[in-house]
Amino acid sequence: MNFTQEINRRRTFAIISHPDAGKTTLTEKLLLYGGAIHLAGSVKARKTARHAVSDWMEIEKQRGISVTSSVLQFDYEGHRVNILDTPGHQDFSEDTYRTLMAADSAVMLIDVAKGVEAQTEKLFRVCADRGIPIFTFVNKIDHFGRNPYDLMSELESMLGIRACPMNWPVGINGKYQGIYERETDTVHVFERSGDHGQNKLAVTSGKRTAPEIQALLSEDVLAQLEEDIELLDVAGDPFDAEKIAHGKLTPLYFGSAMTNFGVQPFLESFLKMAPAPAPRRALEETVSPQNEDFSAFVFKIQANMDPKHHDRIVFMRICSGQFEKGMSVLHRQSGKTIRLTQPQQFLATERTIIESAYPGDIIGVFDPGTMGVGDTLCDPKHVVTFADFPVFPPELFARVAPKDSLKRKQFLKGMRQLSQEGAIQIYTQGEGRESFIIGAVGQLQWDVLQYRLQNEYNVTVELIPLPYSVARWALNATPEDLTGLGTSMIVYDNKQRPVILLANEWQTNWLTERNPGVTFVASPPIVTVDQEEK
């Protein structure tokens, strides 16, 4: 298989949703069909000690939630699939945002009973801003659900995107008995059977006029199905590949991830329509995946995937050129040439050493601490710089210090590594200060920080909340130049830029009014390597 063929068979996508919509379950079922796992674990199956394969961190298994993005690969019908399973919880929006930067498309998961929820809307906006294709999977149709027309209307009113149903739920008043495949004119009727733990369904499939289908559905259900089919054909949005490719129209699917119902048809349809790796904008040029010069960017760092060895894995998205094990590349931010050793691909914590990879692939490499999130790696003979990622403004702040001063070394190492991951934002108050100030988007980030410091670095910490909710960077002034600071606190970010912590928006407006010539921003300015060199 040549270079172009390898690129064209790649599909790299993220799965986004509100918490509890079934995102991790859908991820597992896709892996199951891809042959990557033989038994789908359930985060609810506590007694059998089975957990979601993409939830590798111990706290995820305990709480039944995803708190960090997972990177998973498998092959299916000639495609190399890279799934980016993101945290649904809003406290980890920043990790999700960075992960979405590495995706070429997104699968948006919606609960059939709840419709579009707050976190789904927020993540949709990130995808829409990038103009990437969005495929919608309405989950849990084996339970009571809302009217599908209402869900389509909600997609348009809340998200501003029209939907083209690829299949349609069969049933009346939210009591669904199957789905109808529009393209093949086939009905799949489900009945519960088999091992309850596996949640399998007995499925009967056939044309909607077939005797076996007619026998399973009542006259009212069949009449409703005929009416729905006619209405969709006459008044529904037609399939438009161009609109889908630019994120203006979403293909809509109905199914149940927990029971496997509708998942395989969705996977096969999605892989046909989802885009191959797309060009990426760099500061110097637009980088084509067909360019034979290697380039990639770091979108995630994970410490201690193997707690015994305290390893540090850098995840990168390959944008152009063929990656080869042991190759030397330019680390754009430091200007150093580094060798990428022991490259790996992942199925949760299961690692496979690879010899090569292509644009669209996600790989992990060991790193001693040289690279950071957003960094660029490229061929020294063809230098490009991918733009750094924006940072979510933190809303919660606390002072953190080790309870045992004898464990300060482990504490410093843990804080440094976890901040490099982007798990939290860390600030200092200058040289010689014994504690850190941490910023978070939500309370759960603090819980995870304390848990990981305790379990991965054997350090118990004390968190003291601070009365601030706003952080501001001054673009064209130093703290000494400012008036009206009042009770604010001056701290320094990881690039030693001063940050002003303020109690609320009122104090922020006061500071802005007192300093009319100063520009205050909620996220740190993005600095390129060329600006740093100057």
Binding site per annotation, positions for GTP: 17-24, 85-89
Rounded Cα distance, 122 and 115, in Å:
14
Contacts of 105 (CB under 8 A, 6+ apart): 11, 12, 13, 14, 132, 133, 134, 135, 274, 275
Beta bridge partners of 461: 402
Rounded Cα distance, 204 and 216, in Å:
9
How long a stretch of residues is the chain? Answer: 534
In the chain, how long is the greatest CA-to-CA distance? 83
> Rounded to the nearest 5°, which phi and psi values hold at 481?
-80, -15
Contacts of 404 (CB under 8 A, 6+ apart): 459, 460
Contacts of 244 (CB under 8 A, 6+ apart): 133, 164, 250, 251, 273
| Measured CA distances, 188 to 36, 179, 254, 338 (Å) | 26, 5, 12, 54
> Strand ranges (DSSP E) for 228-270?
249-254
Assigned token pair, 24? 């991790």
Give 107-166 as a 3 state SS string: EEEEECCCECCHHHHHHHHHHHHHCCCEEEEEECCCCCCCCHHHHHHHHHHHHCCEEEEC
Rounded Cα distance, 387 and 390, in Å:
9
Q: 354, 345 in Cβ contact below 8 A?
A: yes
**Bind-site residues:** 17-24, 85-89
| Measured CA distances, 454 to 403, 413, 414, 482 (Å) | 11, 13, 10, 40
